[in-house]
A and B are shown apart, each in its own frame.
Chain A
């Protein structure tokens, strides 16, 4: 039985690469677009939320980002990874919104997580709020670097491509961001500010 299951698992086709999906999308395949949406919408919306502090703004930016991919699909050149391209577009859209001053960056409303409320829950939410506010208070580029590498799990090479900086510059942004966070969060954890 177990051997049979293993055989079945081995017969499963390997998931299509993003490049293969983009090749299908160029031909107008809506199924390929749906698969790319499933794979990358959370990263784009999550990063946009980290940047803007607003769920509604994050959703709008994610929609605009994917519509740009859809509309420009025939011109797609496989020079960049799809995820890197999407996050770069989302980052630019965030910066555009900052320039138009449409965004308040320290809203960060509580996100529903389905856990029961209790005294510990109240304390947890307080810590969440303080952390969110500390992240939101970082300069845009430090927040973007942290969002890409820490929260969205991009490699240093990918994150540097998204932000259009060298890897040394990315590391500098990350180190300065984390240093600021250690200082600003020392009220939550007294030993955090120590070097």
Chain B
């Protein structure tokens, strides 16, 4: 018992709060009966006092705020992503970045306007001109060798 008490003092120091919870009574009993154990506690207390002189570093509010900000701006999806999901996410982000960009925004708006114009023009054109328009479109697109059935009737 005395030997174990001195081992605990040498490892954990003089403060009972640091001793193993289940063995505190053993050390207290040894201290009440054994002078060498008392001397061992006194030596441990001297070292403890010096160790307490070393300042303890504590987290500043700025550090806590920094970590919160970093967490909020991190992807933070948590779960492990499959390669396919990761690939989809990369594509989605790339396309989104492109269409958010200063170059692609006017280009995509122009393409949308052209498509809308073609659609409106086709819907409003007179029915009798439809075949001629189709022939002209095909000629423009594929050349004179390409014919549309019924276009020249």
Interface residues of A (CB under 8 A from B): 26, 28, 30, 33-34, 37-38, 41-42, 44-46, 49-50, 55, 58-59, 62-63, 66-67, 70-75, 110-111, 113, 124, 127-128, 131-132, 135, 146, 149-151, 153, 155-156, 167, 171-172, 174-175, 178-179, 181-182, 185, 188-189, 191-192, 194
- B57 and A46: CB pair below 8 A? yes
Smallest distance from the beta carbon of A1 to chain B beta carbons, Å?
34
B window 91-129: CB within 8 A of A: none
B window 72-108: CB within 8 A of A: 72, 74-80
CA–CA, A49 and B70, complex, Å: 21
Residues on A with beta carbons closer than 8 Å to the beta carbon of B43: 182, 191-192, 194
Q: B151 interface residue, CB < 8 Å from A?
A: no
Q: How many positions in chain B have a CB within 8 Å of any CB in the partner chain?
A: 37
Extra inter-chain contacts (6) besides given A46-B56, A66-B71, A71-B74, CB under 8 Å: A49-B57, A74-B78, A127-B50, A175-B7, A181-B50, A182-B47
- A128 and B18: CB pair below 8 A? no
- A62 and B79: CB pair below 8 A? no
